[in-house]
Amino acid sequence: MLDIAFIRENPDIVRAAIKNKNREGIDLDRILVLAEERKNNANEISEINRQRNVAQEARDGEAGKRLKEELKAVEEKHQATEKELVSLLIKIPNIPSADTPIGPDESGNVVIRQWGEKPQFPFAPKAHWDLGKNLGIIDGEKAAEVSGARFVYLKGDMALLEMALMRFGFDTLISEETLKKIIDGAGLTVSSKPFTPVIPPILMRSQVMNRMARLDPIDERYYFEKDDMVFVGSAEHTLGPLHMDEILKEEDLPLRYAAMTPAFRREAGAAGKDTRGILRLHQFDKLEMETFSKPEDGLAEQNLMVAIQEYLLQQLKLPYQVVSICTGDMGFPDQRQIDIETWMPGQDAYRETNTSDYIGGFQARRLNSRVRRTDGTLEPVHMNDATAFSQRPLAAILENNQHEDGTITIPEVLRPYMGGREKIEAKK
């Protein structure tokens, strides 16, 4: 949710954001009228209450009764205004950052840099679903019988590889030394405070998800009506509300958290897309980063998130490109979205493996997560969320490190987590 004062002062910026993010049809003038009405009603209520307090003091039952009726009428009006205002307000998307490309859809995204050499194969490289099936480490068929489409069993070395990947990610995020190295390497000036590892809930109240501006579209969520709860679509959804209704101390910022959880997505509207392999599942594991920072540090914080993502992929020696997501393709609460696409030779394409969302104070405003500044004022804390690793890099490892005989070379950095082994081979 945007700050109403900001909307009042910058209607043109807000209008542009609505248009560029393809959210037309929002009546901004109505919002401004309602905001004015709300303020007037609040003042009126305040005045009636003052008179009521006087009447109480005087034990004046007659005046008290009359004022109570008056109050009731104004309060009803006030609540109706408030309700309509908030319902309109939460439809306004966050304002894209100045460096976000303007574009209608993913065709407007801009590749900002590429890293790594695409591997050359003296044979036709296979896609990970074929590699995984042949090695007996990805089983989509049995999963389909048991759970339906878009589920898989990861077995044997694939299961171990995932644990290795996630553990490597965690170890990177909780090491101040490594973070320092990453920060220096990227030429950033941000805190090197390490991430706190968290095991968060993956079921949450729908209301809180709504305060994260992530409930809509509800079709994308697994919703348990009886309990009014939803499955998280990402650990972001329960890490973000970790400080709701709190006032944070400026000196405690940044706060950084990392959590690996299953993520659940209904993939409504993605029918027929990526039906093979592990790129688009209803349930997948993801190691997520979530940070809370001072408003002025929020953008630099996102740059750190991206630097970490790049470091992780570089350590795996996976070629990738960094993409600045344009206005028409970016998330509703995002101020700036940077994706990383990793090269998948079996599909002859870069595929999205990481995303990082700079949210600014957009979620914090509804979550009521604020920071007390040294001058005593309160501001919404700025939030960033970003993928460290999902399961998608596993697909990239399989495809990039494959051999003609179908075996896979395990990335060096993951070997210590896999008993020092160098290769994944078919079980004899």
The answer to whether 68 contacts RNA (rule: CB under 7 A) is yes
- Using CA atoms, how far apart are residues 211 and 243, in angstroms rounded to an integer? 12
DSSP-derived letter for residue 402 is B
CB nearer RNA, residue 79 or residue 189: 79
DSSP-derived letter for residue 107 is G
The answer to whether 8 contacts RNA (rule: CB under 7 A) is no
Residue choice 6, 61, 252, 270 for contact with RNA (CB under 7 A): 61
**Binding footprint of RNA, residue count (CB under 7 A):** 19
The answer to whether 83 contacts RNA (rule: CB under 7 A) is no
- Using CA atoms, how far apart are residues 216 and 231, in angstroms rounded to an integer? 13
Distance in Å, CB of 322 to RNA, minimum: 39
Query: If you write DSSP's letter for every residue of 39-89 in order, what string do you get?
Result: HHHHHHHHHHHHHHHHHHHTT-HHHHHHHHHHHHHHHHHHHHHHHHHHHHH
The answer to whether 79 contacts RNA (rule: CB under 7 A) is yes
DSSP-derived letter for residue 273 is S
- 425: which 2 tokens? 């081979």
At residue 265, φ and ψ (nearest 5 deg) are: -140, 135
Question: By CB under 7 A, which span of 25-33, 59-67, 212-220, 398-406 interacts with RNA?
Answer: 59-67
Q: Which amino acid makes up residue 7?
A: I
Residue choice 7, 20, 38, 52 for contact with RNA (CB under 7 A): 52
Distance in Å, CB of 246 to RNA, minimum: 10
User: CA 58: distance to chain centroid?
Assistant: 56
The answer to whether 65 contacts RNA (rule: CB under 7 A) is yes
- 40: which 2 tokens? 């007037």
CB nearer RNA, residue 41 or residue 384: 41
Distance in Å, CB of 50 to RNA, minimum: 4
265 is in an annotated binding site: yes
DSSP-derived letter for residue 276 is S
CB nearer RNA, residue 65 or residue 423: 65
- Using CA atoms, how far apart are residues 237 and 208, in angstroms rounded to an integer? 9
The answer to whether 378 contacts RNA (rule: CB under 7 A) is yes
The answer to whether 373 contacts RNA (rule: CB under 7 A) is no
Whether the CA torsion 141, 144, 149, 155 is positive or negative: it is negative
266 is in an annotated binding site: yes
Q: What is the largest CA-CA distance in the chain?
A: 96
Question: By CB under 7 A, which span of 7-15, 61-69, 293-301, 394-402 interacts with RNA?
Answer: 61-69
CB nearer RNA, residue 61 or residue 217: 61
Residue at token pair 């009405």: 37
Distance in Å, CB of 59 to RNA, minimum: 5
Annotated binding-site positions for L-serine: 265, 288
- Residues forming contacts to RNA in the complex (CB under 7 A) are 42-43, 45-47, 49-50, 52-53, 55-56, 59-61, 64-65, 68, 79, 378
